[in-house]
Amino acid sequence: MISNRVLFSVLTIAAGALALDRAAVVLFGSEVPVQPNVVLILADDLGFGDLSCYGNRKIQTPVLDQMAGEGVRLTSFYAGCTVCTPSRMALLTGRYPLRWGWRGGVIGHRIPPVNGLSPQALTMAEVFKKSGYVTSISGKWHLGDSKGMLPMGQGFDASFYITKSNNQTKKIFRDGKLVADPFNNRLLTEQFTNEAIHFIRSNHTKPFFLYLPYTAPHFPAQAHPDWKGKSPLGAYGDVVEELDSRIGMIMKTLSEVNLDEKTIVIFMSDNGPEPGQKKWAQASPFRGLKWSSLEGGNRVPCFVRFPGVIPSGQVNNDLTAAIDILPTLSRACGIDLSKFPAANLPAMDGISVWDTWIKKTDSLHARSELLFWHGWGTLQAIRVGQWKLYVDKVDEISGSEHGPVLINLADDFSETKNLSEQFPFRVKTMKELAIKRLAEIEADRIPIGGPKSDIDFSGRRSKWLE
């Protein structure tokens, strides 16, 4: 049995929605509500067990460990999907990627670069920008290469980015203009960090939203010269340890410009470890890697830090997902999402979990269910509470070729014990719920952005939902 320190985490914040205003009085010396800054940091292919605060004993991540200890570590947090593009669609919009026409794959790998997140989508950057924030991205975009689908057309005032993964392109752009071709992969983490620091220093007197989607530790993992050979896990470990140190530079900058207590910082990963890096990366205690709907495919590290508002040393194991980040941050920052035009937009799938983050004792945790897709676009599972039902044939799940497989995640982290025969009614109700939710999404979605493609985006149906 894994220890509570390794497995469980709590994300709590010191008062309710109204209490944030009161906290703002204490923290900011103002009698009116203020807009906290937001720094959203996204690692690429970082596994659940890749940080020392999540149990890794070979990779040293003291900065991230301290950040997690000063806020809250979540241990039942799920990325937006099991691969890059749909994961980012979900995170930045608060909606399942199927709502935006995604049916499998990533930009440049099944999805043509001319396609991507529809310009019609309302992104997190647009929400913050329209609420008086200055917005910036520094890192990997991977939501489309065409005009209108690039960061400048999706709500970012400033942008320094690569359009796809670091194994798919060699070009860096700033505000749509090419600034490096080829880039040096070993220096990307440093460059993205420096750009982010410049943005913070240039905008420290204004409320800002900074999105920092690093390419590390996505393959090819190539160590920066100053970190080469520092980790016993080769270049992969070196890259993660550099990432930890660079984020320390971000935190130091926030402190130097007196924004440490005025900034919400979130750290998470976009999905589980890349199969080609499984020799070094860790999803333990879970099975499954990137692309997979198993726990290791998209249960990832996530913690949130907001000094004076989020109590330190918290641990929370409630079901939470990347689609919840947008509505939760909006509530934390006093942004009313209902005021944004909803015409022609699919329904929001994310739920504000602010009451959980602030440890409000008189309300239940908002999220009770979640759907899981394979990276090739098939709905494969649904989780309700501690129960997960596989509704598709999954190679790694024994028995799934014969029917739905029911897992109790409370004590079966490796997902090896099929309890479907013991709990047939639970199987029935969860299957019915999955059918209902999928039908709702299918009926309320828009086409993928860009021109129509010859590629069939229909997707394979779940075997046990037919």
Over residues 439-459, the mean pLDDT reads 85
Query: How does pLDDT run across 340-384, given as a tens digit for each residue?
Result: 987 789 999 999 998 888 877 777 899 999 999 999 999 999 999
Domain identity same for 294 and 407: no
Q: Show contacts of 50-57: CB within 8 Å, 24+ apart.
A: 50/217, 50/240, 50/273, 50/281, 50/282, 50/301, 51/240, 51/244, 51/301, 53/301, 53/303, 54/6, 54/301, 55/2, 55/6, 55/7, 55/282, 55/284, 56/282
Domain identity same for 105 and 216: yes
pLDDT for the residue 310:
82
Active-site hit among 53, 81, 109, 142: 142
What distance, in Å, lies between the first and last C-alpha atoms of the chain? 37
- b/e sequence 319-351, b meaning 16+ C-beta within 10 Å: bbbbbbbbbbbbbbbebebeeeeeeebbebbbb
Average pLDDT value over all residues in the chain: 91
In three-state secondary structure terms, 123 is: coil
CATH of the domain at 322: 3.40.720.10
* pLDDT confidence tier of residue 458, bands split at 50, 70 and 90: low
* pLDDT confidence tier of residue 7, bands split at 50, 70 and 90: very low
pLDDT tops 50 at residue 17: no
pLDDT for the residue 22:
35
365 included as an active-site residue? no
Sign of the torsion angle spanned by Cα atoms 278, 280, 283, 284: positive
- Domains in the chain, number: 2
Query: How does pLDDT run across 373-418, given as a tens digit for each residue?
Result: 999 999 999 999 999 999 999 999 999 999 999 999 999 999 999 9
**Domain range for residue 167?**
4-357
pLDDT for the residue 346:
96
Over residues 181-195, the mean pLDDT reads 98
Element (H, E) at 386: none
pLDDT tops 70 at residue 95: yes
Any residues with CB less than 8 A from the CB of 8 and at least 6 apart, and which?
75, 315, 316, 317
d(CA 71, CA 306) in angstroms, rounded, equals 7
Tokens of 261: 């207590």
Higher per-residue pLDDT: 33 or 35: 35
Confirm whether 166 is domain-assigned. yes
Over residues 16-35, the mean pLDDT reads 41
Q: Domain boundary residue among 332, 357, 382?
A: 357
Over residues 214-226, the mean pLDDT reads 98
In three-state secondary structure terms, 165 is: coil
pLDDT tops 50 at residue 170: yes
Structure-derived torsion over alpha carbons of residues 232, 237, 242, 247, reported in degrees to the nearest 10: -130
Domain identity same for 153 and 177: yes
pLDDT for the residue 218:
98
Confirm whether 439 is domain-assigned. yes
pLDDT tops 60 at residue 13: no
Q: Environment class of residue 107 by beta-carbon count within 10 Å: exposed (0-12), middle (13-18) or buried (19+)?
A: buried
Whole-prediction pTM value?
Answer: 0.92
Domain identity same for 233 and 290: yes
Domain identity same for 41 and 173: yes
Query: Which of 303, 272, 295 lies closest to 409 in space, CA to CA?
Result: 295
Domain identity same for 326 and 425: no
d(CA 466, CA 463) in angstroms, rounded, equals 6
d(CA 224, CA 142) in angstroms, rounded, equals 23
Within 13 A of 154's CA, how many CA atoms are on the CB side? 29
Contact 331, 35 (CB under 8 A): no
Domain identity same for 318 and 453: no
Strands 72-74 and 314-316: parallel
pLDDT tops 80 at residue 107: yes
Q: Domain boundary residue among 357, 384, 417?
A: 357
In three-state secondary structure terms, 454 is: coil
d(CA 45, CA 128) in angstroms, rounded, equals 26
CATH of the domain at 433: 3.30.1120.10
pLDDT for the residue 459:
65
Active-site hit among 53, 84, 302, 333: 84
The answer to which of 130-134, 184-188, 309-313 has the lowest mean pLDDT is 309-313
Give the chain's length: 466
Q: Domain boundary residue among 357, 383, 415?
A: 357
Query: How does pLDDT run across 173-187, given as a tens digit for each residue?
Result: 999 999 999 999 999
81 included as an active-site residue? no
- b/e sequence 44-81, b meaning 16+ C-beta within 10 Å: bbbbbbbbbbbbbeebbbebbbbbbebbbbbbbbbbbb
Domain identity same for 18 and 76: yes
Confirm whether 55 is domain-assigned. yes
Element (H, E) at 397: none
